[in-house]
Structure 1
C-alpha cells in the first residue's frame, strides 16, 4: 500500500469533525478513585494523560535502586510500582511498606510493564514476553518471540498485543499463552501498540505506521521517512505519532490519511501525549513541543503553540496531569515540569544520569526511571497521616482516657510531624501533644478529632467515634456532682432484692453512705466499718472490714481501685477485685473523714473534719498538696469543674479553690453551716446551707467573695441535701419536707413537692425522673417536669443515703 495524502476538501471536513470533538479532548475526568497508571502511556490508547492532579513544586519522596539503567517506564497500580531494568529484573516497590521485590533474572528490559488483573506483562531482550504474579513477581507464563521485545505490551479484552524485533506483531490469549495470530511487518518493532476500538496501531523501523484489525488483518499503513520508534496515541479517531524523520504526524485512524504533520529539529523517538486539545511531544533537538491537535488547516507557525528546551535530547515521552502540568525526562539527566498552557518551565529535578524512561502520574505523584539505575518518586510534600489510638477500649464516665497519636506518620524523608491537635468532641478546650489524656463525665458517643501538622505546614485530620459507657462511679455520679445519668431508670417500685449490710455493731442506727456502681458491681461502705462489693443480683462478692471505725464516706471507684474515707482520718484504696488494701493514707490526726472522695484523673480530693482539703495521688496515696484551713470541719464533699474545686465548711463559708494548688480563689459567706455538697453546671455552682437557702454563684468568678448569679432561694428549713441538675433545673431537698425544682438560669421555683423531711439524701436524676430518699422511710420517684409522684417505696427506716442509678436499677 502507498502513502496517502489527503485532499484539501477532506482536510476541511476533518477540521470540522475535530473541532466538534475538542470538548471531548478537553474533558478532565473526575478523580472519584485513584487513576492508576497501569501501563506504558497510562492506557490502551497511549494518551499519556492522567486525571490525577500534581501540585508543584515536588520533592523526591523516595527512590529505589536497581543494578542497571532504567529505560523502562514505571507502571503504578494498587500502591505498587513496577518497572524493568537493563539488569534483567522486574522490580516491585510497595508504596506503603517500602518493600522492594524483584523477579527472576531475564534479559535486559527496555519494555514497560502493564498490570492487568493481578498479572504484570513485560517484554525482554531474551526474546520473550513474561507474565508475572503482581504480588510475588513469580513467573506465571512466558510468550516466546523470535527476537528481543522492546515494545511495551497492551492487554485488551484478555488479548495480549506486542511487537518484536523479529519483525512480527503478536496476539496471544493472555490467560493461557496461546498464540492467536501474528502479523509479518517486515521490519523490527520497538514502537508500543495503541488500541482504539477495533484498531491496533504501531510503528516499525522501516518508517511505517500500521493499523491492524483485532483479527490480525491489515486495515492500512502510513509511510514516514524515518524509523518509527515512537508509540502512537489515538484520541477521538486521530492517530498521533512521531518519526525519526523529525516529524510528528496526525493520521485518520479509520483509513490512515495524513491530516497534518509538523517538523521538529530532530528525530522524534518520544511518544506523544494528548490532552486539552494539544499534542505534547519531545524531540532529539532537546525541545518539548505543544501543538494544536484540534484543527487541520493550520500553518506550522499556527500549529506550534509553544516549545521549550531542555539541555539535551528528549527520548522520554511526556505525561500530562489533570491540572495542566506536563512532565518529561531529558538526556540532560533531569525531569521537567512545564505548564501545559504557556510552556513555562515550572520545576525540574536532577538525577544521576540520562532519562529515557517516561514519567507516570498517579495519586498526585510522579514516577520516573533514570539511567543511574534508580526509580524516582516525587510528591508535593506529602501531608502527614493522622492516626488515633485510645485506651482503655471501653471507658466509663469519669475514667481518664489516654489518646495516642504516636502511630501518625509523615512519609517525607526529610519531614516530620511537629504538632498534634486534639478535639475531644465535648466542647472542652483543644489539647496539644502526641499523647494526651481526657475525662468525660457524660455517657454518650463522642467524635474525637486529631489534626497533625508537619514541618512544611501540611496537615491531616482524622476522626474516630468514642463511646463512653455509663456508670455511677462516685458520690453524686461525677466530679461536677450534678447527679444526672443517661442510664435507664426504673418506672416501677418493683423490689429486685434487699440486703442487710450489718449487723450494725457501731451503735449508729442510720445508713449514710451512697453506692458506687461500675459494670455489674455495686460498692458501698457501712457504718459497721465495712466496704462491700455486691453483684447486681444482690450477692455479696467480698467485703473488707476497716476496724474499728465507722465509715460515713461514700466510695469512689477508678481504674480498678475503690477509695473511701474513714472515721479514723485515713483514706483507703482497696483493690476492686480482691478487696485488698493497696494503700492507706492518714490525712488528719484525730478528726474523722465524713466527706466523700472525688477522683479527677489521677488525683483524689477529700475533705476532713480538721478543716482542710487534701489532694492525694490515687495510685500511691502520696499527699500532693492541701488547702489552707477553711475555717471549720468539712462535711461537704468537694465538686471539681473548670479547673476549680468547690466545697462548703461548717463555718458557713462556701469556697472555690484552685484545682492544682488548692489555694483559695474566693469564699462566699452563707447564713449557716454548709454541709451540702455543691453541684456545678456550666458557669454556675449551686449549694445548700443550713440557713435553708439554695445559693447560685458564678463558678469562674475571681472576686474574693465570689459573685451571686441570682438571689438565694429560701426554703423552710435546713438544706443538708446536695442539689442535682438536669433539664435546666436544680433539684434539692429540704428538712422542711419538700423537694424543690428551681430554674438554674433565673432562680425561680418551678415546683415543689412535699414528701417528708429530707436530710442527707440527695436527689439523683435519670430518664425524666427525680429519685430521693426521705426521713419518712420512703424512696420517691418524681416526675422531673411537675414533681408528681410516679412511685414510692417504703423502707424500714429513715433514708439518709442518696440514690445511685444504673441500667434501670
Structure 2
C-alpha cells in the first residue's frame, strides 16, 4: 500500500515560542548505529566504529525471505526487521556481529502491512510496527521487557529515536501526534499535535526534538516536557513527511512536493538556505563536519554545509539509491544495481567497490510495503541490506 499524497506549498512563516531553557547535554552513543541514519541526529556519521579503512571483505550474509530494514549495530549484535514472506507483519532478527549466526530466535512483530523500525539505547532494543505497537527487548536474549500501543492514532511510519532515557516517535491517522515514551517502562511522558505525523523519525539533540512534514511543516519541541520551541508553518498541510537531519547548526528538511529543500536554523526555524534537487524526495543527506553528501537522481554530490557550494560529484553507475553514510572519513553509498562504493570524503575519489549480489533499494519513506531501509556500521562492520539479503563487510 502506498501513501503518496499531493500537497501544495505556500508562503512560510516561523512561530517562535518564548521561555525555552535547554536541558543538560547528554553524551552521544559512539561507534554504533542506533536508529535510522546511524544516530539520534540522523546525520549518517560514525566515528570510532572499529570499521577499518576500505577495502573491506565480505564477512557473512543472510537471506531473510523479505525486504530488510536499516540495521541497528550495537553490543556485538546486528538487529534488523524484515517483511513477513507469508502475510502482513514483520519479523525482528538478531545476529551475532562476528559470525552472522542467530543471537536469538526471530520474533514476530505483527502489524498491518510490512512496515517496522528499530532503535537502541539505555541497554534496550526498541521495535515499532505500523499499528503503533512499540516494544522493548533485552538485546542479549530477545526477551520482551514491555509493549505499549501509542494512543490516538492508527498509522505509524516514523522510526523511533532514543535519547536520554526517552523513545521519541510519531503517528498519524487523525491529524498527527509526536510521542515521548519512557524507555524503561513504555509509559507515554508527553504528546504534541502536529500536521500530520507521517514518515518523520524525530531528530533529537539535548536542546530539541525536530520533526518535518508535508509543505515543510516543521516543529521543534523541548525534549523533557514537550513544550513547543518553534513551528515553521507554510499555510498548508498534507500527508507525508521526511526524516530531518541535524548537522552544523542546521535542520536539513526535504519535501516530496518541492525541488528546493531547505536548511533551517535550529534556534528559531528560520530558513538558512535552500539547495537544488531533482525532487524533494531525495534520500537523507549525511554529514562530516562542514561536508555534506547528497544522493539525487542517481548521483552523489558533496556540498559545503554553509555555502552549499559543491566541490565534487560522483556518478557511479548513475543508479545510486541509498542514503549515504560516513564512517571515519569514508562515504559509503549503494546502487539499485547492487553495487556498493567507498569514497574518500574529502576528494570524492572511489577507493573500493563491490557488488553485494542484490539491488540496494531506495529508502522509500512513503511506502509501507517494506520496512524503511538504509546502511549502517559499528563493531568493525559495514552492514548493507540488499532487497531480501543482509550482508556484512569488515576485516
Higher Cα Rg, which structure = 1
1:640 is matched with which residue: 177, 194, 204? 204
Q: TM-score, normalised by structure 1?
A: 0.39
Partner of 1:623: 188
Indicate yes or no: 2:251 matched with 1:685.
yes
**Aligned partners of 2:329, 2:233: CA distance in 1, in Å?**
32
Change (3 A) 1:663 1:727: closer
**Aligned partners of 1:440, 1:592: CA distance in 2, in Å?**
32
Following TM superposition, the consecutive aligned residue runs of length 4 or more in structure 1 with deviations greater than 6 angstroms are 670-674
1:787 is matched with which residue: 348, 356, 364? 348
Partner of 2:378: 806
**Aligned partners of 2:117, 2:81: CA distance in 1, in Å?**
6
Indicate yes or no: 2:275 matched with 1:713.
yes
Change (3 A) 1:652 1:618: same
1:653 is matched with which residue: 191, 204, 217? 217
Partner of 2:331: 770
Deviations 1:713-755 (A, max 9, x none): 1122343411211031111222x11222111111222322224
* Mean CA deviation greater in 560-569 or 680-689: 680-689
Deviations 1:346-401 (A, max 9, x none): xxxxxxxxxxxxxxxxxxxxxxxxxxxxxxxxxxxxxxxxxxxxxxxxxxxxxxxx
**Aligned partners of 1:646, 1:589: CA distance in 2, in Å?**
20
**Aligned partners of 1:668, 1:748: CA distance in 2, in Å?**
28
5+ unaligned residues in a row in structure 1: which ranges? 1-428, 432-437, 444-469, 505-509
Partner of 2:165: 602
Deviations 1:158-187 (A, max 9, x none): xxxxxxxxxxxxxxxxxxxxxxxxxxxxxx
Partner of 1:591: 154
Asked if 1 retains the 8 angstrom alpha-carbon contact of 2:334 and 2:341, the reply is yes
Asked if 2 retains the 8 angstrom alpha-carbon contact of 1:772 and 1:802, the reply is no
Asked if 2 retains the 8 angstrom alpha-carbon contact of 1:563 and 1:572, the reply is yes
Q: TM-score, normalised by structure 2?
A: 0.77
**Aligned partners of 2:53, 2:70: CA distance in 1, in Å?**
18
Indicate yes or no: 2:289 matched with 1:727.
yes
Alignment of 1:308-707 (within 5 A): 439-441=26-28, 443=30, 470-486=31-47, 487=49, 488-501=51-64, 503-504=65-66, 510-511=67-68, 513-528=69-84, 529-536=90-97, 537-542=99-104, 543-550=106-113, 552-588=115-151, 591-610=154-173, 611-628=176-193, 630-659=194-223, 660-663=225-228, 665-667=230-232, 669=234, 675-690=241-256, 691-701=258-268, 706-707=269-270
Deviations 1:669-725 (A, max 9, x none): 499976432221342111222223332110011xxxx31112x11122343411211
Change (3 A) 1:535 1:482: same
1:495 aligned counterpart, secondary structure: strand
Aligned-residue offset at 1:757:
4.3
Change (3 A) 1:618 1:807: closer
1:497 aligned counterpart, secondary structure: strand
5+ unaligned residues in a row in structure 2: which ranges? 1-21, 85-89, 363-372, 382-395
1:749 aligned counterpart, secondary structure: coil
Equivalenced residue count is 334
Change (3 A) 1:807 1:582: closer
Asked if 2 retains the 8 angstrom alpha-carbon contact of 1:570 and 1:588, the reply is no
Asked if 1 retains the 8 angstrom alpha-carbon contact of 2:41 and 2:246, the reply is yes
2:115 aligned counterpart, secondary structure: coil
Aligned-residue offset at 1:493:
4.5
Aligned-residue offset at 1:553:
3.6
1:752 is matched with which residue: 313, 327, 340? 313
